Amino acid sequence: MKILVAIKQVPARDSILKIDPAGRWIQESDLSFEINEPDAYALEEALQLKEKHGGEVVVLCLGPARAQQTIREALAKGADRAIHIEEENLAALDTLGVAQILAAAAAQENADLLLTGLQSDDLGSGQTGVVVAELLGWPHSTIIMQVEKTPDGVKVKRELENGWFQWIELPLPAVLTIQSGINKLRYATLMGIKKAKLKEIKRLTVAELGVTPSQTAALDKVYLPQKSKQTQILEGPAKEVAAKLAEKLKFEVRVL
């Protein structure tokens, strides 16, 4: 079984974010970066499927040159090889544009499964995986909590609302978006880090894939939430004040 895993490099979660002078994105010059956490769970699921059924795990990453660090980390954890589509200006691409590039690269690999994280930590649109599936013409399923190989494809457990789950079966090839927390993430071993230096990273450009990404949406402005304060004095008997306070906490502040 050949499994592609789409990963993204994002700012570290503890980063202090500042808006760039143009107001279109964040300043990246002083940030540290890491693998998108939901994608880390997709990678872990792919590695476990490989350990059970054999095959190959291929990391697929669209990003600037600095994404090499994240790709090497994925290889150190056990991925067999990687494809790096170098693009320095990701902020200029919307979900459809990103999906078109990933789909073009995935189509060349003839894979059985393409796994992605449920969403990215920076933008959080939760759309890329399903748009890639549509472009490839592959069946897909989202919010996956468990994956089982079957003679005819895969059987997956989807998380629904209010503690409900759904089991469905899909033929291969297919695209699955993986829910965070599905497995315990592994650490890269010292041996894995050494082996990663020798593993193949195929570098491609968008032009080499023959793709002209569509631009159907644009990020117009990035800004910090506006802070405001408001003071209200509730007067009257204690019983009435308590009732008014409870009502405001429930319906206005929404903390009850």
Q: Break the chain into its structural domains and give their ranges.
A: 2-205
How high is the pLDDT of residue 57?
A: 97
Interatomic CA distance for residues 194 and 178, integer angstroms: 28
Per-residue pLDDT averaged across 98-113, rounded? 95
CATH class of the domain at 2-205: alpha beta
What is residue 18's predicted lDDT score, i.e. its pLDDT? 87
Closest residue by Cα to residue 173 from 204, 202, 207, 135? 135
* Alpha helix positions (H), the chain: 37-53, 68-77, 95-107, 128-136, 190-196, 238-251
Per-residue model confidence as pLDDT tens digits over 216-236: 887 888 888 888 887 888 889
In the prediction, which pLDDT does 178 show?
A: 96
CB 56 within 8 A of CB 4: no
The predicted structure's pLDDT at residue 78? 96
200-214 per-position pLDDT tens digit: 999 999 999 999 998
pLDDT in the model for residue 88: 87
Q: Is the pLDDT of residue 125 over 90?
A: no
Structure pTM? 0.85
Look at residue 219 in the predicted model and tell me its pLDDT.
Answer: 80
Question: What average pLDDT does the structure give for the chain?
Answer: 92
Q: Are strands 9-11 and 113-117 parallel, antiparallel or unpaired?
A: unpaired
pLDDT band at 198 (very low <50, low <70, confident <90, very high): very high
Strand stretches in the chain, DSSP E: 2-7, 9-11, 33-35, 56-63, 81-86, 113-117, 140-150, 153-159, 165-171, 174-178, 201-205
Is pLDDT above 80 for 184? yes
Of the candidates 94, 75, 114, 85, the residue with the CA atom closest to the CA atom of residue 192: 75
Q: Higher-confidence residue: 209 or 24?
A: 209
> Rounded to 10 degrees, what is the CA torsion of 126, 117, 223, 93?
-80
